[in-house]
Structure 1
């Protein structure tokens, strides 16, 4: 249906067509989200981890031995999940001066109540 053909008489047809197209778009978005979540849950090896976190393989092995990095071992091979590594990295965030100051102010405010 051409947009120039919309009139009061064919308005119900136009609305029905839009509803169908919206349903198709929703389905496509859901399929993309399912594909992306499946792709993220694929384990990666030590080489990919090295590139992802910017550390050498011996450093990664040391972190594994110290149980400081999330990993899985099956047989003699180590496996990692990208989303777990990114979460692990984000937990090591250092606070900015502004964040520290706001926490101090909040703490003092709560203490004075």
Structure 2
């Protein structure tokens, strides 16, 4: 810890104040949400998924698509819908063949 003379105190206080301001700015930027989650209503979610509203209601009723319910209204998080679409991806023939070859190699190594 550095000792300051009486004459150096105003400058030291100014520097300390500047550092505290920068620290406070950094902390508030850290706690401020940079990107808020997009929430869709039924119409927006149906348009996003390229489905009719009635099809989306059926999928929600069957619990095939992730949704949130407040009262009688359904809401959908965009990120959850994107993940749901990704999980439905079907593998290509070449991917299936590659997996089969990898499996056969593992079985052969164990034998």
- For normalisation by structure 2, the TM-score amounts to 0.67
State the match for 1:75 in structure 2. Answer: 71
Larger CA Rg, structure 1 vs 2: 2
The number of residue pairs the alignment matches comes to 80
Three-state SS of the structure 1 residue aligned to 2:39 is coil
**CA RMSD, Structure 1 to Structure 2 (Å):** 1.6
Distance in 1 between residues matched to 2:106 and 2:68, nearest whole Å: 42
- For normalisation by structure 1, the TM-score amounts to 0.66
Three-state SS of the structure 1 residue aligned to 2:74 is strand
Residue 103 (str. 1) matches residue 99 (str. 2)? yes
The equivalences for 1:13-92 within 5 A come to 34-35=33-34, 37-38=35-36, 41-92=37-88
| Unaligned ranges ≥5, structure 2 | 1-25
More helix by share: 1
Three-state SS of the structure 2 residue aligned to 1:80 is strand
User: Which whole-Å deviations, capped at 9, do the CAs of 1:2-24 have from their partners, x for residues lacking one?
Assistant: xxxxxxxxxxxxxxxxxxxxxxx
Distance in 1 between residues matched to 2:47 and 2:65, nearest whole Å: 15
